[in-house]
Amino acid sequence: MEDDAPVIYGLEFQARALSPQTAETDAIRFLVGTQSLKYDNQIHIIDFDDENNIINKNVLLHQAGEIWHISASPADKGVLATCYSKTADSRVLRCAAVWRMPEESEPGSHESPDDSASTAHALELLCDLDHTAHGSTACVAWEPTGDGSRVVSLADNHILLWDLQASSRRAVLASSASLEGKGQLKFTSGRWSPHHNCTQVATANDTAVRGWDTRTMSQIYCIENAHGQLVRDLDFNPNKQYYLASCGDDCKVKFWDTRSVSEPVRTLEEHSHWVWNVRYNHSHDQLVLTGSSDSRVILSNMVSISSEPFGHLVDDDDLSDQEERRPEDRSQEPPQDGAIATYEEHEDSVYAVDWSAADPWLFASLSYDGRLVINRVPRALKYHILL
Amino acid sequence: MAAAAAGPGPGSGPGDSPEGPEAEAPERRRKAHGMLKLYYGLSEGETAGRPAGSDPLDPTDLNGAHFDPEVYLDKLRRECPLAQLMDSETDMVRQIRALDSDMQTLVYENYNKFISATDTIRKMKNDFRKMEDEMDRLATNMAVITDFSARISATLQDRHERITKLAGVHALLRKLQFLFELPSRLTKCVELGAYGQAVRYQGRARAVLQQYQHLPSFRAIQDDCQVITARLAQQLRQRFREGGSGAPEQAECVELLLALGEPAEELCEEFLAHARGRLEEELRSLEAELGPSPPAPDVLEFTDHGGSGFVGGLCQVAAAYQELFAAQGPAGAHKLAAFARELGGRYFALVERRLAQEQGSGDNSLLVRALDRFHRRLQAPGALLAAAGLAEAATEIVERVARERLGHHLQGLRAAFLDCLTDVRQALAAPRLAGKEGPGLAELLANVASSVLSHIKASLASVHLFTAKEVSFSNKPYFRGEFCSQGVREGLIVGFIRSMCQTAQSFCDSPGEKGGATPPALLLLLSRLCLDYETATISYILTLTDEQFLVQDQSPVTPVSTLCAEARETARRLLTHYVKVQGLVISQMLRKSVETRDWLSTLEPRNVRAVMKRVVEDTTAIDVQVGLLYEEGVRKAQSSDSSKRTFSVYSSSRQQGRYAPSYTPSAPMDTNLLSNIQKLFSERIDVFSPVEFNKVSVLTGIIKISLKTLLECVRLRTFGRFGLQQVQVDCHFLQLYLWRFVADEELVHLLLDEVVASAALRCPDPVPMEPSVVEVICERG
C-alpha cells in the first residue's frame, strides 16, 4: 500500500518550537516559532489541506524575541503562549507571555498569504507571565481541559501556576513551588496530566522526573535517574492514567508507571542521539512519536502497554464495508512493541514533533534548519489499528 | 553205480578201515563223506592237486570223482604204446605202495589214541564209584543235622520270643528314662547355657509327649518340659533382647526359638526390631560424627564408618533374616525390604547431610573416593535386597552429589571470575594513585585470561575424577552420558562462559551510567577478553572438555559458533559501552564548559580554553589506553598536512559564504542552503553507532559523541562576538589535535564546521576572527 509522500515546508529561520493548534479540531493546523537573533521572529501558522496535500501558511510577527517554546491554548484557538528570549544589556532573558492571534489573520480568512514580513500582522500581547523573580522560563503548559485559564510555567527551579483572568488579560500567580537541592537545578520540560481532574503536572530536571500535585504544589513522586543523562521531554498517556513516557540524552525512550517508579515499564533504544521530544497519539496511545538530534523521527507502536493491548474494539457496523478484509487481519500475529517507521526527511536535528489535534493519523516534525515535515501514520498500521 | 563201487578201492581204503565193521548203505556213506568234504572245504568232486583245467567228469582222471578204471584201462591200452604202458604200470605200482604206507601210518596213530581213550574211561569209572559212596554218607549226615536243628529250634522258640520282647521293653524303658530325665536334663542344659542341646532334646521329646499326653505321668513330664521350655524360651528371648551379643548370636537365638516352635511372624518382627535397634545405634553414632560441634572426621572416614558399621550390619541382618525366615515367603521378604528401605533412607539422609557439609570444600578427590566407597559398600546389600532399591538410591545420591559438585564448581568459577575482576579494579585504581595509568592493562588482561583458564582447567580436572575408571559408579549411564554432556560441557563450561558474558554485559546495563561505577578501563579489558574468547579460547576450552569427557551422549549441545557469537556480541556491547562512557565523560566536560559560560559578555579570546586542552589530553589518554589492547585499525588515506589544508578551506568558505556582512534578508536562506548542500554530499553521521574492534573506530566513536554534544550545546546558547571567536579558536584547536585519532578526518571537520556555523547563527553580531590570528593563538596554546 503506497503511503502518501510527506509534505515538506521550509521556514527561513532556524526553528525549535512546534505546537498543534490544540483547540482547533477541524483543520489540521500547526504553529511554528522561529529563532533568529537578527530578524524579527515569526510564528508560522501552517494549515494543511489533507485532501489536496497543500500547505497554507500565515505568518505572524513575534517581535519580542526568538521563540524557544510554543503552546496553544486548549480552549481558545486564538490564544497561545510562548517562551522567548530577548537580549538586553548583553544578557539573555528567557520570558514567557500569552498572546492572541489577530482575528483576520486566522487561516481561512486570509486567502492570499503574503510573503513579505512587513505586511504580516503582529501578535497581540495578552499578558506576561512575570518571571523576573524566578529566572528564565523553559516551558509553558496549559491545563489540558477546562477553559484555558490555568497555565503552568517552569522557570529555573520554580514551578509556577498561573490563573489567567479577564479573558487572559491578566495573569495572577496562584501558587508556586521550587526545587531545592545542591547545584543549579533547572527544569527542562513539563507536561500537564490529563487525568485525575488535571491536578497533576510532571516535570523534568536533569536526570529526574517529578510529579506535582497542583492543588498543594507538592511533589507526588520522583523518578531519580530516570535517564542516564538529561531528560529532554515527557508526555502522559492520554488514555491510561499513571503511564508516562520520557526521553533524554541517553538516546532512550522510557515508559513509566508512576505508581512504581523503580523500573521503567518499557525502554526503547532506537535513536542514535539525544531524543528531544516524545509524544503520545491522542487517540491511539500505542503510537508514540519521537524526534531526535540524529535527524530522525521514529514512530513506535507500544501495543503491550497501551490502552488497546488487544486491538481496537469497534462495532461491527464500522466493519461492514471491510468485511472481506477481516479474516486475514485476525490471523495476523499481534504486533510487537517497537519502532514501526523511521522518517528521515530531515537533514538537521529534530527538536520538535507533535501530532495534529484534528487528525489522529497525522503529525508534524520540525528540524533546526527550519524544515517542517508533515507525515502520516503508515496506512497498513492505521488499518490494522482500526480493524 | 560203478563209480561208487570203484571209489573205495584205490581212494578210500585207509578211511574205510575204522568204519569197516559197520556196513552201511552207500547213500549214507556218500552223504557222510560229502559232509566231511564240506567240512574240510572241498567241494564235491574236487580233489587236491588236480589240475584246474581238467574236466572233473573225466572218467579217465585217476584222481577224479568219476574215475572209471575200465575206461581208463581201455584208454591206456588203446592209446599208449607199450613203453608208456610199462611206465604207467610202474608209476601206478609206486603210487599204490606209497599210499599203502601212508595208510598204515594213519591206522597206527589212530589205534594208539583209541587205546589211551579206553584207559581214561576205565579210570573214570573207578573214581565215580568212590564218589558215589561219599555222597551217600553226606546225605545221611545232613539228615542227621537237619533233625538236630529242628529239635533245637523247637526248644529255643520260647526263649527267643521272650528275648525279643525284653529287648523291646528295654528300648522303651530307655526312652521313658530319657523322658523322665528330660526335665532335669533340660534344666541342666539351661543352667549350663547349652541352649542348642536343650532345644534338640525338646525337639526329640515333643512328639512323644504330644502323643501320650493323656497319660497322667507323661502329662506331668510334658508339663515340666513345657515349663522348662518356656523358661528356656524366656531365657533365649532374654538373651535375644539384651541384644548385646551381636548379630550372629542373635541369629542363633532366633534359630533356636524357631526350633522351639515360637511363632515365626512374631519372631521376625522382633528380630527386625532388634536389628533396627542395633542399626539405629550405628546411625546415631554416625549422626554424632555429623554433629556440629566437633570438627567432623573427613568425609572418607565418615563413609567408611557408615560402610562398615551400618551397611555391614544391614548386610548381616539381611543375610541372617533370609536364612532364618526363608519359609516366610514373599511377605517376609517384603518386610525385610521395607525395613531396609526405611533404615537405608535414614542412612542416606545422614550421608547426604554429611555430603552437604562437603559442598563447600574444594577437595574433589577425597569426596570422590568417599562416594566410591559409599557406592561400593551398598552394592552388597543392594544385590541382597534388590527390592529395597538401595543400590539405586545410592547411585542417585552419587548423581545428585555430582550434580551439586558441578553447580559448586560453576559457582566457584564465577566467583573466581568476579575475584579476578575485583583484582583488576584494584589494580586499575592503584596505579592511578602512583600517577601511572594503563601500562599494566595488557598484563592485567593476560592475568585475568590465564587465571580464568587455569580455574577452568582445575575444575575440569577435579570434575574428571567422577568419571575415572576405577571409580565404581563411573560406568553408570548417568556418568557416561548425561554427566559428561549436559553436566560438564553444558552446565559447567558453557554455563560459565555464558555467565561470564552476562557478568560482563551487566556492566553495560548498570543504571549508574552517569557515575561510571565501572572503570572504563575494565570495560575495555573485558571487551578484549570476550573478543579473545571468541577468537580462540572458547573453542580451545570446548575441545579440551570434549577430549577429557568423551561425550557419548547424543543430546544436543551448544555449538562453539553460538558461544562465539555470544562472546562477540558481548565484546561489541562492552566496547560500545566503553565508547559511550568515555564519550560521556568528555561530553559532560564540554557541556558544562558551554553551559556555564556567559558567552555574550566574554572577552576577546587570547587563549584556547583550558577545557579544550583537557579534552585533547583525555582523548590522548584514551587513545593510549585503547592502544594497549586493540589494534590500530584502518583510517582513510590522507596527506600529511591535511589538517591545515582543510582548515583553510573551511575557514575561507566561511569567510566568503557565511560571514560576509550581507544584511540582506536572504542571508539566512543562504546559510541554510549552504549547510544543506554540504549535508547532501556528506554521509549522515550516526553518533552512537556500533564500533568495530579497533582503536581508530573506538576513538572515532568517542570523538563523534563529544563533538555532537558540543554542537547541540552551542545551539542552545547565544553568543556575543567574542564568544563566537572563542568558539572558533576552540574548534580550530580541536581540529589540530583530534584529526589524528579518527578514521575519517572529514568527520571531525564536518562536525567542527557545524559547531562554528551554529555558533555564528546564534550570534547577533557574527564577526569571525582572522584565520591567521586563530592559528597563532592555537599554536601558542
- Indicate whether A335 pLDDT > 70: no
Task: Tell me the percentage of chain B whose pLDDT exceeds 90.
Answer: 8
CATH of domain A7-386: 2.130.10.10
User: What values do phi and psi take at B625, rounded to 5?
Assistant: -60, -50
pLDDT at B116: 92
What's the average model confidence in pLDDT over B299-317? 76
pLDDT at A119: 54
**CA of B716: which chain A residue's CA is closest?**
A68
Q: Of B648, B669, B647, which Cα lies nearest the Cα of B658?
A: B669
Q: How far is A268 from chain B (nearest CA, A)?
A: 14
- Flag if A273 and B708 touch (Cβ within 8 Å): yes
pLDDT at B777: 84
- Flag if B764 and A87 touch (Cβ within 8 Å): yes
- Indicate whether B241 pLDDT > 80: no
What's the average model confidence in pLDDT over B373-396? 73
Note the pLDDT tens digit of each residue in B51-64.
445 566 777 777 77
Note the pLDDT tens digit of each residue in B440-493.
777 888 888 888 888 888 888 887 777 777 777 777 777 777 777 777 777 788
Q: Which of B598, B677, B689, B712 to mutate to test the interface with A (most CBs of A within 10 A)?
A: B712
Confidence of residue B641 (pLDDT cuts 50, 70, 90): very low
Confidence of residue B90 (pLDDT cuts 50, 70, 90): very high
- Indicate whether B369 pLDDT > 60: yes
Of the two residues A325 and A249, the one the predictor is more confident about is: A249
Confidence of residue B611 (pLDDT cuts 50, 70, 90): confident
**CA of A68: which chain B residue's CA is closest?**
B716
* Contact B104/A at CB under 8 A: no
What's the average model confidence in pLDDT over B83-103? 91
Calculate the alpha carbon distances from B361 to B133, B356, B415 in Å. Answer: 116, 10, 14
- Indicate whether B751 pLDDT > 80: yes
pLDDT at A278: 92
pLDDT at B634: 67
Q: Based on the number of CB atoms within 10 Å of its own CB, is B339 exposed (0-12), middle (13-18) or buried (19 or more)?
A: buried
> Which amino acid is present at B703?
I
Calculate the alpha carbon distances from B224 to B178, B183, B212, B253, B622 in Å. Answer: 13, 6, 14, 22, 110
Of the two residues A108 and B373, the one the predictor is more confident about is: B373
Mean pLDDT of chain B: 75
pLDDT at B583: 85
Question: Cell numbers of B55, please?
Answer: 574236466
- Flag if B512 and A225 touch (Cβ within 8 Å): yes
Nearest to B601 among A38, A90, A344 (CB): A90
Question: Which of A268-272, A352-356, B541-545, B553-557 comes out lowest in average pLDDT?
Answer: B553-557
pLDDT at A157: 82
**B289-323: b or e for each residue (b if 16 or more CB lie within 10 Å)?**
bbeeeeebebbbebbbbbbebbbbbbbbbbbbbee
What's the average model confidence in pLDDT over A201-212? 88
Confidence of residue B166 (pLDDT cuts 50, 70, 90): very high
Question: Which of B68-77, B190-199, B368-377, B675-684 comes out lowest in average pLDDT?
Answer: B675-684
What's the average model confidence in pLDDT over B374-399? 74
Nearest to A272 among B512, B688, B715 (CB): B688
- Indicate whether B361 pLDDT > 60: yes
Confidence of residue B30 (pLDDT cuts 50, 70, 90): low
Confidence of residue B554 (pLDDT cuts 50, 70, 90): low
pLDDT at A318: 44
- Output DSSP code: residue B305: H
- Indicate whether B745 pLDDT > 90: no
* Contact B513/A at CB under 8 A: yes
- Indicate whether B46 pLDDT > 90: no
pLDDT at B483: 74
In A, what residues contact B, Cβ < 8 A? 10, 12-14, 36-39, 85, 87, 90-92, 117, 207, 225, 228-229, 250-251, 272-274, 293-295, 344, 347-349, 368-370
Q: Which residues of A touch B601 (CB under 8 A)?
A: 90-91
- Flag if B708 and A368 touch (Cβ within 8 Å): no
CA distance B768 to B22: 187
Confidence of residue B147 (pLDDT cuts 50, 70, 90): very high
pLDDT at A89: 67
Q: Of B621, B616, B642, B624, which Cα lies nearest the Cα of B695?
A: B624
Question: Cell numbers of B371, please?
Answer: 562416594
Question: Which of A371-380, B18-27, B200-209, B711-720 comes out lowest in average pLDDT?
Answer: B18-27
Confidence of residue A108 (pLDDT cuts 50, 70, 90): very low
- Indicate whether A275 pLDDT > 80: yes
User: How would you list the strands of the sheet with A124-129, edge to edge?
Assistant: A66-72, A79-88, A91-100, A124-129
- Indicate whether B39 pLDDT > 90: no
Confidence of residue A118 (pLDDT cuts 50, 70, 90): very low
Sign of CA dihedral B616, B617, B622, B623: positive
Question: What number of other Cβ atoms are within 10 A of residue B284's Cβ?
Answer: 11
Q: Which residues of B touch A117 (CB under 8 A)?
A: 665
Of the two residues B457 and B2, the one the predictor is more confident about is: B457
- Indicate whether B219 pLDDT > 70: yes
pLDDT at B534: 81
Note the pLDDT tens digit of each residue in B663-684.
333 334 445 555 555 555 555 5
Q: Of A283, A280, A240, which Cα lies nearest the Cα of A258?
A: A240
Question: Which of B2-6, B454-458, B469-473, B602-606 comes out lowest in average pLDDT?
Answer: B2-6
- Indicate whether B640 pLDDT > 50: no
Note the pLDDT tens digit of each residue in A69-84.
898 888 888 888 888 8
Of the two residues B414 and B656, the one the predictor is more confident about is: B414
Sign of CA dihedral A364, A367, A373, A379: negative
Question: Cell numbers of B360, please?
Answer: 563447600
Instruction: Please say whether the beta carbons of B523 and B507 come within 8 A.
Output: yes
